[in-house]
Amino acid sequence: MSDQRVVVITGSGRGIGKGIAERLAKDGYAVVIADLDPKTAGETAQELVGKGFNAVSVAGDVSKKEDHEKFVNKAVEEFGRLDTYINNAGIAQIKLLQDVTPEDMERIFKINVFGDLYGIQAATEQFRRQDDGERIRKIINASSIAGHIAFDLLGAYSATKFAVRGLTQAAAKEVGRDHITVNAYCPGIVGTDMWDLIDAKMVELKGGETGQYLKQYAQSITLGRVETAEDVANYVSYLASPDSDYMTGQSVQIDGGIQFI
């Protein structure tokens, strides 16, 4: 079995997940790019391989428990082990709570909350199968600043991200004696496709021009600029490294100074 650390990252074909994959590959990880879109996942994995890193892709739906098991199996088949599992995949929804339907709520919870739970379960089962002694293994979840203070028009999304914080704390307490840590990262306003969608939906609901709401929200950032995928990846790199081995159950805001709580 290789000593190289191995990570599965869901939703890593593009956006924040891709940024995390690139950073962890540079940190020495072998990376499993798990994404709903097989084309995007494959292209990202090939980019990493082309740069000399170990990477493979696997397609699957995070709302399905069996697909998380498939992601873990891919890591073990290709690289012999699993060290870190990152529940990065998620979706947003822009709607007044009064207009949210049962179908809306079911879909966003299946992806953002059930998906994280299934990832925690699949990773924990694999970690317990491995004979790693006291070596620390990592589960890392994607929450949000909206998981600390809810946003209007993002009520359902905010609820899911509060739920992720709860899962993170409970899982950390349950698996700590197995030498597994569970933490979460809470990004702010990141310049990715998700925020382009949020901005477009805001225009649709409130009127205005494309880019107006991204610019408006960005004015609240103390550091004066929109966050990048690399900013998030830099913090996730710490969570995935031995430097954070004594940290568990935490959901830290990495937002450039939007919220101070």
Give the burial string for 87-105 (b: 16+ CB within 10 Å, else e).
bbbbbbbbbeeeeeeeeeb
Q: Which is nearest to 87 in space by CA: 123, 47, 41?
A: 123
- Counting Cα atoms < 13 Å in the Cβ hemisphere of 160 gives 24
Please give the torsion angle defined by the CA atoms of residues 168, 119, 24 and 126, in that order, rounded to the nearest 10 degrees.
110
Catalytic hit among 85, 118, 161, 217: 161
Catalytic: 161?
Answer: yes
Element containing residue 138 per DSSP (H, E): strand 137-142
All residues at 6 or more sequence positions from 93 whose CB lies less than 8 Å from its CB, including other chains? 100, 104, 108, 154, 156, 157
Question: 192 near 230, Cβ under 8 Å?
Answer: no
Catalytic hit among 118, 157, 185, 213: 157
Catalytic: 157?
Answer: yes
- Which positions are annotated as active-site residues? 157, 161
